[in-house]
A and B are shown apart, each in its own frame.
Chain A
Amino acid sequence: MADAQEVKRLNDLAYEMRRMLINLCGEYEGSVHIGGDLSMTDLLIGLFHHGMHLNPDDIKDPARDRFILSKGHGAVCMYIAMCLRGFFDYDEIVKTYGQLDSKYGMHPCRVQLPALECSSGSLGQGLSMATGMAISAKAKKESHRIFCMLGDGETCEGSVWEAALTASSYKLGNLVAVIDRNKQMMCSRNGELINMTPYADKWKAFGWNVIEIDGHDMNAIVDVLDSLPPSSSCRPTAIVAHTIKGKGVDFMERVIGWHAGSLNKEDWAQALKDLAKNYGREEA
């Protein structure tokens, strides 16, 4: 069982991170992929603040765990998770997000922001890169893990399954795919047009060790990250995390229109109010 204090610390961070996301979505005039950001917030907090071995003071530490954001449109969620971990400055993100020459934009760019492991944004490409990194680590007998965060929508891309096949064939126990299974794409919900179920079975059929969790239950997130098979094991792991798009903001949850957007003053205030209510807190 996960340590209660650790879970509380992480939940507090997740609350803070959701507030930061909402505030950025209010400050920034353009569109933010807020729905999918809120669905993976707890997972990113679990990864960046508990599960992954990281060193913000030495971003190229060879022993660090690697993180690939395959759902690159959630870049801002990663920036903020990393900023809470000491990698970046939140004010700089808010001040420069999406602007000319900013390091922080809608999709992550490693060339502009070297603390990132890779550039992404074109869906379906991250797991291949993560697989290459895992093959490299295995060849060099390095023991770190490679975590790859995917959206379930992007697993419509065939290249994801090409990579899944390679990863299990090459017995990459050091590779962990985390799937943000929020069951929505930009324009449809799972089953309306494209039916992805049975979902976990697909990963099982590709030879992966599959674990299903509630992606908003910090206890479950901590447990699964604490009990991963060793990186020297012979099967890659897929954590299928069931989540809710827009989680924490009542008027966004499961609403197709909130795949991406920006908040006007009233909605911004309401979003913070909803969030505080859902966390059982006084609004800060």
Chain B
Amino acid sequence: MAGSFNFGEWISARSVIGDTLNEIGKTNEKLFVCTPDVGMNLKGFRENFPERYVDVGIAEQNCVGVAAGLALEGNVPVIMGMLPFLSMRACEQVRTAVCYQNLPVRIIGTGGGLTSGGGSTHNAMEDIAILKSMVNMNVLSIGDPNMIRDILKLSMDFPGPMYIRLAQGKKDRQLYEPGTLTFSIGGSVTAREGKDVTIFAHGEMVGLALDAAEILAADGIDVRVIDMYSIKPFDTQAVDKALTETGNLVVWEDHLMSGGLASTIADYFIDRDLRPKTFRRFGIPQVYAGFGSGEEQQRKYGYHIDDVVTYIRSLK
């Protein structure tokens, strides 16, 4: 279990996953853990349950296919890997072997957005667009590293496929005190109340949105922050409420601006003929980003915290 909680302290989501899978494995024999050679945080499960630990080597397509086969036998396989390769190299297996058969395979990985540090080969900046287009797929993007524990536990009894995006996974900022919130597929967290503007964010950007809200509070701007950790399905009530109560909406995500959460919310508005007072999205433009830290790239590509703060100030 995690030690005492300190807001903003950084812990590794990957080790939370390793610990949680090991814990679930003790009581739930349906849990299998699969990986294409990304098992560094899975040692506990590997040692305790070797017959339910499947490392196929660097072979994502096969990894997803094997997981589908395990699920066809009534098991709940959790795949741990790198998101660009699980979402793209194994894209068709995810779509056809997993989603078409509506199997309870869980795909979890790191490398969401421009966080990988590995350049464009290792950045999953299109993953949400790809995964949310698949029928039956549930898409989550988790920033708070402790949330993954609860999500994994609830996923053991959840019927359909699930894609869980982490940012870097090595060093993630704690946002919520463990055990104080209930998460669900289709849920959201109002991480901060506010009445002037709402920022919808997911993953790593939630913590940054809270920082932005703090900066803007000093200017007298009251910013609401919604953690949209569940992107498909998503919490339409939270969106409706923000639309009515704040009017000004910002979507901020470490994903291509097109096809991610912003597009999801925009689609929702179009389908219902809803018009926010203002609507602005911050994210990755149509570019293969180079190297550098996440923060450096956010600045370069126009979705840095300073860009968001400047924009929201301009709404006054």
Task: Report B88-122 CB contacts with A as 1/0, cut-off 8 Å.
Answer: 00001100110011100000000000000000000
Asked whether A136 and B59 contact (CB < 8 A) given A119-B100, A125-B96, the answer is no
Q: Does B70 contact A (CB under 8 A)?
A: yes
Tell me, in angstroms, the Cα distance from A132 to B73 when the chains sit together.
9
Cross-chain contact A132 with B101 (CB below 8 angstroms): no
Specify which of A119, A133, A170 is in contact with B73 (CB 8 Å cutoff).
Answer: A133
Known: A122-B92, A132-B69, A133-B73. 14 other contacts (CB 8 A): A118-B72, A121-B96, A128-B65, A128-B68, A128-B69, A131-B66, A132-B71, A133-B72, A159-B61, A162-B57, A162-B62, A165-B57, A166-B66, A169-B57
Q: Does B87 contact A (CB under 8 A)?
A: no
Task: Report A118-139 CB contacts with B as 1/0, cut-off 8 Å.
Answer: 1101100101111111111111
Cross-chain contact B69 with A162 (CB below 8 angstroms): no
Q: Does B52 contact A (CB under 8 A)?
A: yes
Closest CB in chain A relative to B70 CB, distance in Å: 4
Closest CB in chain B relative to A200 CB, distance in Å: 22
Cross-chain contact B70 with A162 (CB below 8 angstroms): no
Most chain B CB atoms below 10 A, which of A119, A131, A133, A136: A136
Cross-chain contact A136 with B101 (CB below 8 angstroms): no
Cross-chain contact A122 with B96 (CB below 8 angstroms): yes
Closest CB in chain B relative to A71 CB, distance in Å: 15
Tell me, in angstroms, the Cα distance from A163 to B61 when the chains sit together.
9
List A contacts of B101 (CB < 8 A). 110-111, 118-119
Cross-chain contact A125 with B57 (CB below 8 angstroms): no
List B contacts of A42 (CB < 8 A). none
Most chain A CB atoms below 10 A, which of B62, B70, B73: B62
List B contacts of A37 (CB < 8 A). none
Cross-chain contact B69 with A158 (CB below 8 angstroms): no
Closest CB in chain A relative to B309 CB, distance in Å: 47
Cross-chain contact B56 with A166 (CB below 8 angstroms): yes
Cross-chain contact B72 with A132 (CB below 8 angstroms): yes
Closest CB in chain A relative to B80 CB, distance in Å: 16
Asked whether A131 and B51 contact (CB < 8 A) given A136-B75, A162-B61, A162-B62, the answer is no
Tell me, in angstroms, the Cα distance from A166 to B55 when the chains sit together.
9
List B contacts of A130 (CB < 8 A). 69
Cross-chain contact B66 with A135 (CB below 8 angstroms): yes
Tell me, in angstroms, the Cα distance from A282 to B56 when the chains sit together.
54
Cross-chain contact B97 with A129 (CB below 8 angstroms): yes
Q: Assign chain A's interface to a size class.
A: 20 to 34
Specify which of B62, B73, B74 is in contact with A128 (CB 8 Å cutoff).
Answer: B62
Q: Does A180 contact B (CB under 8 A)?
A: no
Closest CB in chain B relative to A117 CB, distance in Å: 7
Can you give 22 A-B contacts (C-beta < 8 A)? A110-B101, A111-B100, A118-B97, A122-B92, A127-B65, A128-B66, A128-B69, A128-B97, A132-B66, A132-B71, A133-B69, A133-B72, A135-B32, A135-B70, A138-B51, A159-B59, A159-B65, A159-B93, A162-B62, A163-B62, A163-B66, A169-B57
Q: Does B54 contact A (CB under 8 A)?
A: yes
Specify which of A117, A129, A134 is in contact with B65 (CB 8 Å cutoff).
Answer: A129
List B contacts of A131 (CB < 8 A). 62, 65-66, 69
Cross-chain contact B66 with A129 (CB below 8 angstroms): yes
Most chain A CB atoms below 10 A, which of B59, B61, B65, B92: B65
List A contacts of B69 (CB < 8 A). 118, 128-136
Q: Does B67 contact A (CB under 8 A)?
A: yes
Asked whether A132 and B67 contact (CB < 8 A) given A110-B101, A119-B101, A163-B62, the answer is yes
List A contacts of B67 (CB < 8 A). 132
Cross-chain contact B102 with A111 (CB below 8 angstroms): yes
List A contacts of B74 (CB < 8 A). 136
Closest CB in chain B relative to A160 CB, distance in Å: 9
Nearest A residue to B95, CB-CB: A122
Closest CB in chain B relative to A66 CB, distance in Å: 8
Nearest A residue to B71, CB-CB: A132
Q: Sort A-B residue pairs by CB-CB distance and give the 5 closest, nearest first.
A: A132-B69, A128-B65, A162-B62, A129-B69, A162-B59
Tell me, in angstroms, the Cα distance from A165 to B93 when the chains sit together.
18
